[in-house]
Chain A
Amino acid sequence: DAGVTQSPTHLIKTRGQQVTLRCSPKSGHDTVSWYQQALGQGPQFIFQYYEEEERQRGNFPDRFSGHQFPNYSSELNVNALLLGDSALYLCASSWRQGSYEQYFGPGTRLTVT
Protein backbone atom coordinates (compact mmCIF):
# COMPACT_ATOMS: atom_id res chain seq x y z
CA ASP A 1 0.00 0.00 0.00
CA ALA A 2 1.63 3.21 -1.17
CA GLY A 3 1.70 6.00 1.34
CA VAL A 4 1.46 9.68 0.51
CA THR A 5 3.61 10.57 -2.47
CA GLN A 6 4.78 13.99 -3.54
CA SER A 7 6.53 15.34 -6.61
CA PRO A 8 8.97 16.70 -7.35
CA THR A 9 11.42 15.98 -4.53
CA HIS A 10 13.42 19.14 -5.03
CA LEU A 11 12.78 22.32 -6.98
CA ILE A 12 14.78 25.47 -7.59
CA LYS A 13 12.93 28.55 -8.82
CA THR A 14 13.70 32.21 -9.31
CA ARG A 15 11.95 35.04 -7.50
CA GLY A 16 8.75 36.03 -9.29
CA GLN A 17 8.20 32.66 -10.93
CA GLN A 18 5.31 30.29 -10.35
CA VAL A 19 5.48 26.71 -9.07
CA THR A 20 3.15 23.71 -8.90
CA LEU A 21 3.64 20.90 -6.41
CA ARG A 22 1.76 17.62 -6.56
CA CYS A 23 0.46 15.14 -4.02
CA SER A 24 -1.18 11.72 -4.17
CA PRO A 25 -2.90 10.71 -0.95
CA LYS A 26 -2.66 7.40 0.81
CA SER A 27 -5.03 4.77 -0.55
CA GLY A 28 -8.49 5.17 0.97
CA HIS A 29 -7.98 8.79 2.00
CA ASP A 30 -10.12 11.58 0.59
CA THR A 31 -8.78 14.69 2.32
CA VAL A 32 -5.53 16.48 1.58
CA SER A 33 -3.86 19.18 3.66
CA TRP A 34 -0.82 21.22 2.75
CA TYR A 35 1.79 22.54 5.18
CA GLN A 36 4.85 24.74 4.84
CA GLN A 37 7.86 23.89 7.00
CA ALA A 38 10.64 26.47 7.14
CA LEU A 39 14.07 25.32 8.26
CA GLY A 40 14.14 24.71 12.00
CA GLN A 41 10.39 25.31 12.38
CA GLY A 42 7.31 23.17 12.74
CA PRO A 43 4.91 22.75 9.80
CA GLN A 44 2.42 25.58 9.24
CA PHE A 45 -1.03 24.83 7.85
CA ILE A 46 -1.71 26.30 4.41
CA PHE A 47 -5.09 24.81 3.50
CA GLN A 48 -7.16 21.65 3.34
CA TYR A 49 -9.11 20.15 0.45
CA TYR A 50 -12.08 17.82 0.71
CA GLU A 51 -14.57 16.94 -2.01
CA GLU A 52 -12.56 19.08 -4.46
CA GLU A 53 -13.12 22.24 -2.44
CA GLU A 54 -10.88 24.29 -0.17
CA ARG A 55 -12.45 23.77 3.25
CA GLN A 56 -10.05 25.53 5.58
CA ARG A 57 -7.20 27.97 5.12
CA GLY A 58 -4.34 29.13 7.29
CA ASN A 59 -2.69 32.55 7.31
CA PHE A 60 -1.21 32.43 3.84
CA PRO A 61 -1.71 35.01 1.08
CA ASP A 62 -3.75 34.43 -2.07
CA ARG A 63 -0.51 33.68 -3.94
CA PHE A 64 -0.98 30.21 -2.49
CA SER A 65 -3.75 28.30 -4.20
CA GLY A 66 -4.64 24.69 -4.68
CA HIS A 67 -6.79 22.16 -6.35
CA GLN A 68 -8.11 18.70 -5.65
CA PHE A 69 -8.97 16.29 -8.41
CA PRO A 70 -11.74 13.64 -8.51
CA ASN A 71 -9.17 10.94 -7.69
CA TYR A 72 -8.36 12.92 -4.47
CA SER A 73 -4.87 13.94 -5.61
CA SER A 74 -4.00 17.57 -5.12
CA GLU A 75 -1.84 20.41 -6.37
CA LEU A 76 -0.38 23.39 -4.56
CA ASN A 77 0.35 26.45 -6.68
CA VAL A 78 2.44 29.39 -5.56
CA ASN A 79 2.59 32.52 -7.70
CA ALA A 80 5.06 35.43 -7.64
CA LEU A 81 7.59 33.48 -5.59
CA LEU A 82 9.45 35.29 -2.84
CA LEU A 83 12.74 34.29 -1.21
CA GLY A 84 10.74 33.62 1.97
CA ASP A 85 8.77 30.90 0.20
CA SER A 86 11.84 28.64 0.36
CA ALA A 87 10.76 25.74 2.56
CA LEU A 88 9.76 22.09 2.70
CA TYR A 89 6.18 21.72 1.48
CA LEU A 90 4.40 18.81 3.06
CA CYS A 91 1.23 17.13 1.94
CA ALA A 92 -0.82 15.18 4.46
CA SER A 93 -3.78 12.95 3.75
CA SER A 94 -6.56 11.67 5.96
CA TRP A 95 -9.93 10.00 5.77
CA ARG A 96 -12.50 12.76 6.14
CA GLN A 97 -11.79 16.27 7.31
CA GLY A 98 -12.00 15.64 10.99
CA SER A 99 -9.58 12.75 11.32
CA TYR A 100 -6.75 13.43 13.73
CA GLU A 101 -4.64 10.90 11.82
CA GLN A 102 -2.92 12.83 9.09
CA TYR A 103 -0.29 10.91 7.16
CA PHE A 104 2.50 13.00 5.72
CA GLY A 105 4.43 12.61 2.53
CA PRO A 106 8.20 13.15 2.29
CA GLY A 107 7.73 16.72 1.11
CA THR A 108 9.00 18.87 -1.73
CA ARG A 109 12.02 21.04 -0.97
CA LEU A 110 11.53 24.39 -2.73
CA THR A 111 14.43 26.80 -3.03
CA VAL A 112 13.76 30.31 -4.35
CA THR A 113 16.82 32.24 -5.54
Chain B
Amino acid sequence: QKEVEQDPGPLSVPEGAIVSLNCTYSNSAFQYFMWYRQYSRKGPELLMYTYSSGNKEDGRFTAQVDKSSKYISLFIRDSQPSDSATYLCAMRNAGGTSYGKLTFGQGTILTVHP
Protein backbone atom coordinates (compact mmCIF):
# COMPACT_ATOMS: atom_id res chain seq x y z
CA GLN B 1 0.00 0.00 0.00
CA LYS B 2 1.31 3.43 -0.94
CA GLU B 3 1.78 5.99 1.83
CA VAL B 4 -0.15 8.58 -0.20
CA GLU B 5 -3.05 7.74 -2.49
CA GLN B 6 -4.40 10.15 -5.07
CA ASP B 7 -7.02 9.54 -7.73
CA PRO B 8 -5.21 10.01 -11.04
CA GLY B 9 -8.36 11.10 -12.83
CA PRO B 10 -8.33 12.42 -15.47
CA LEU B 11 -10.78 15.09 -14.38
CA SER B 12 -12.50 17.26 -17.00
CA VAL B 13 -14.65 20.23 -15.98
CA PRO B 14 -16.18 23.28 -17.69
CA GLU B 15 -14.75 26.72 -17.09
CA GLY B 16 -16.13 28.27 -13.90
CA ALA B 17 -16.71 24.97 -12.14
CA ILE B 18 -15.57 24.20 -8.60
CA VAL B 19 -12.89 21.52 -8.62
CA SER B 20 -12.21 19.18 -5.70
CA LEU B 21 -8.94 17.25 -5.56
CA ASN B 22 -8.20 14.77 -2.78
CA CYS B 23 -5.50 12.62 -1.23
CA THR B 24 -5.50 10.07 1.55
CA TYR B 25 -2.46 8.97 3.50
CA SER B 26 -1.45 6.32 5.98
CA ASN B 27 1.59 7.79 7.78
CA SER B 28 0.50 9.49 11.01
CA ALA B 29 3.88 11.28 11.22
CA PHE B 30 3.03 13.56 8.30
CA GLN B 31 2.60 17.12 9.55
CA TYR B 32 3.17 19.32 6.51
CA PHE B 33 0.83 19.04 3.55
CA MET B 34 1.49 20.65 0.20
CA TRP B 35 -0.18 20.96 -3.15
CA TYR B 36 1.93 21.31 -6.26
CA ARG B 37 0.85 22.12 -9.80
CA GLN B 38 2.78 20.66 -12.71
CA TYR B 39 2.30 21.81 -16.26
CA SER B 40 3.31 19.54 -19.09
CA ARG B 41 7.09 19.26 -19.44
CA LYS B 42 7.68 21.47 -16.41
CA GLY B 43 8.75 20.91 -12.82
CA PRO B 44 6.18 21.00 -9.99
CA GLU B 45 5.30 24.44 -8.63
CA LEU B 46 4.27 24.89 -4.99
CA LEU B 47 0.69 26.15 -4.76
CA MET B 48 -0.16 25.90 -1.09
CA TYR B 49 0.98 24.33 2.13
CA THR B 50 -0.75 23.62 5.42
CA TYR B 51 0.75 22.65 8.73
CA SER B 52 -1.24 20.05 10.69
CA SER B 53 -5.05 20.23 10.48
CA GLY B 54 -7.17 23.10 9.27
CA ASN B 55 -8.03 25.20 6.26
CA LYS B 56 -6.03 27.69 4.27
CA GLU B 57 -7.30 29.97 1.54
CA ASP B 58 -5.34 31.78 -1.18
CA GLY B 59 -7.39 33.48 -3.85
CA ARG B 60 -9.38 30.84 -5.73
CA PHE B 61 -7.61 28.00 -3.93
CA THR B 62 -8.54 26.44 -0.58
CA ALA B 63 -6.58 23.65 1.08
CA GLN B 64 -8.11 21.50 3.81
CA VAL B 65 -6.45 18.96 6.07
CA ASP B 66 -8.30 16.47 8.26
CA LYS B 67 -5.65 14.58 10.18
CA SER B 68 -8.20 12.48 12.06
CA SER B 69 -9.33 11.00 8.73
CA LYS B 70 -5.89 11.23 7.10
CA TYR B 71 -7.49 13.12 4.23
CA ILE B 72 -6.51 16.33 2.46
CA SER B 73 -8.30 18.34 -0.21
CA LEU B 74 -7.67 21.18 -2.60
CA PHE B 75 -10.61 23.19 -3.91
CA ILE B 76 -10.36 25.44 -6.93
CA ARG B 77 -13.16 27.95 -7.37
CA ASP B 78 -14.10 29.55 -10.70
CA SER B 79 -11.75 27.22 -12.54
CA GLN B 80 -9.99 28.58 -15.63
CA PRO B 81 -8.49 26.87 -18.69
CA SER B 82 -5.09 28.00 -17.36
CA ASP B 83 -5.68 25.73 -14.34
CA SER B 84 -5.36 22.72 -16.65
CA ALA B 85 -2.39 20.79 -15.25
CA THR B 86 -1.45 17.85 -13.08
CA TYR B 87 -2.02 18.49 -9.37
CA LEU B 88 0.20 16.67 -6.92
CA CYS B 89 -0.30 16.39 -3.20
CA ALA B 90 2.85 16.04 -1.11
CA MET B 91 3.54 15.45 2.57
CA ARG B 92 6.41 15.36 5.00
CA ASN B 93 7.25 14.75 8.62
CA ALA B 94 7.88 17.60 11.04
CA GLY B 95 11.12 16.09 12.29
CA GLY B 96 13.10 12.91 12.58
CA THR B 97 15.41 11.28 10.09
CA SER B 98 13.22 11.75 7.02
CA TYR B 99 11.83 15.20 7.59
CA GLY B 100 13.38 16.69 4.46
CA LYS B 101 11.74 14.11 2.22
CA LEU B 102 8.53 14.89 0.40
CA THR B 103 6.19 11.98 -0.29
CA PHE B 104 3.98 12.61 -3.30
CA GLY B 105 0.70 11.26 -4.53
CA GLN B 106 0.37 9.99 -8.08
CA GLY B 107 -1.08 13.28 -9.33
CA THR B 108 -4.50 14.16 -10.76
CA ILE B 109 -4.71 15.37 -14.34
CA LEU B 110 -7.17 18.27 -14.58
CA THR B 111 -8.55 19.76 -17.79
CA VAL B 112 -10.73 22.87 -17.68
CA HIS B 113 -12.44 23.40 -21.01
CA PRO B 114 -13.84 26.77 -22.15
Interface residue from B46, B95, B97, B104 paired with A42 (Cβ < 8 Å): B104
Q: What's the nearest-Cβ distance from chain B to residue A100, in Å? A: 5
Interface residue from A31, A44, A98 paired with B104 (Cβ < 8 Å): A44
CB atoms of B103 and A45 under 8 A apart:
yes
Query: Which of B37-45, B59-67, B73-81 interfaces with chain A?
Result: B37-45
Whole-angstrom CA separation of A90 from B44 in the bound complex: 9
CB atoms of B43 and A90 under 8 A apart:
yes
CB atoms of A33 and B100 under 8 A apart:
yes
Instruction: Name the residue in A31, A42, A92, A107 with the highest tally of chain B Cβ atoms < 10 Å from its Cβ.
Output: A42
Whole-angstrom CA separation of A44 from B100 in the bound complex: 13
CB atoms of B101 and A104 under 8 A apart:
no
Interface residue from B42, B44, B49 paired with A100 (Cβ < 8 Å): B49
Contacting residues, chain A, for B110 (C-beta < 8 A): none
Contacting residues, chain A, for B107 (C-beta < 8 A): 40-42
Instruction: Name the residue in A35, A45, A105, A106 with the highest tally of chain B Cβ atoms < 10 Å from its Cβ.
Output: A45
Q: Tell yes or no: A56 within 8 A of B by CB.
A: yes
Interface residues of A in 37-63 (CB under 8 A from B): 40-45, 48, 50, 55-56, 58
Whole-angstrom CA separation of A60 from B34 in the bound complex: 23
Q: What's the nearest-Cβ distance from chain B to residue A54, in Å? A: 11
Interface residue from A42, A55, A97 paired with B105 (Cβ < 8 Å): A42
Q: Tell yes or no: B71 within 8 A of A by CB.
A: no
From B50, which residue of chain A is reached at the shortest CB distance?
A: A100
CB atoms of B92 and A100 under 8 A apart:
yes
Interface residues of A in 1-48 (CB under 8 A from B): 4, 31, 33, 35, 40-45, 48
Q: Tell yes or no: B98 within 8 A of A by CB.
A: yes
Binding site for A on B (CB under 8 A): 4, 6, 8, 32, 34, 36, 41-46, 49, 51, 88, 90, 92, 95, 97-107
Please give me the 8 A-B residue pairs with the lowest Cβ-Cβ distance, nearest first: A42-B104, A104-B43, A97-B100, A45-B101, A100-B32, A48-B100, A104-B44, A106-B43
